[in-house]
Structure 1
């Protein structure tokens, strides 16, 4: 699976130009579930790999999917978005913002659904650069990587990998 830094694409003038110019891998500073927090849902590495298949790198290692690669990124029906790792509801349809960037965007998550961490990329050996710092979003129950909270088109939004979520249509 090829992955890239979402911030690099969103800063570029177009998604395509960004994707072609910046094909580097994006990974979380601390992979999902490998921090000192005690998650309610835990699995062995082999169990996570069997459950998640090719999306293991996104949910457990903090990679970012390619834009428009998820079958739910343009979803517009009423429903909810659950963590693919454990089924905990993360977002509702009415908090989604439809942007043609290739990922899912939400204004807010469900209460008590997520944990946040600081995700610092690039060479920070000289001095921390606030411009290279993002807020990383994880599922509160299993630690799976969801995406990041970013400034997008003058809005602070949750920029989420479709591979991290299962869409459940409202009855």
Structure 2
């Protein structure tokens, strides 16, 4: 499973900025990522393992400067962990397959889910060919 791959593997696969966000839990500056203001059809895949995490249908403009979604692509593809860093209590979200840091989830979403998955653009890639197909990642 991808969670067992070491930092050297990820350093070879990711840019330094991607490594900082995806493997060290960093955050990109708001309004700086490639997907914060993108509303094309497709699936948002984990940058590290390729797992489909979010669908374009669940994306909305939260005005926060990061891509925001109201639901994961399917139950269980995103894990939640308590994050008490920076003097705040938040819920971190990571890819369930490989442990890639995605961002945080907040209970202030505008739809019936009531959720806002606030995701770093560096943590995901947009696959326009995979709209509504819930594809599988590399898994390994």
| TM class by smaller structure | 0.7 to 0.9
Structure 2 residue runs of 5 or longer lacking an equivalent are: 131-140
Which of the residues 33, 47, 52 maps onto 1:70? 33
Distance 1:101 1:137 in 2: 17
Paired residue for 2:124?
165
Deviation at 1:121, TM superposition (A): 2.1
Two-structure CA RMSD over aligned residues (Å): 1.7
Paired residue for 1:46?
8
1:92 and 2:55 are equivalent in the alignment: yes
Deviation at 1:156, TM superposition (A): 3.0
| Aligned residue-pair number | 124
Paired residue for 1:10?
none
1:136 and 2:92 are equivalent in the alignment: yes
- Give the alignment's TM-score, normalised by structure 1: 0.67
- Give the alignment's TM-score, normalised by structure 2: 0.81
Q: Relative contact order, CA 8 A, sep 6+: which one is greater? A: 2
1:113 and 2:64 are equivalent in the alignment: no
Distance 2:108 2:121 in 1: 17
Larger radius of gyration: 1
Structure 1 residue runs of 5 or longer lacking an equivalent are: 1-39, 124-131
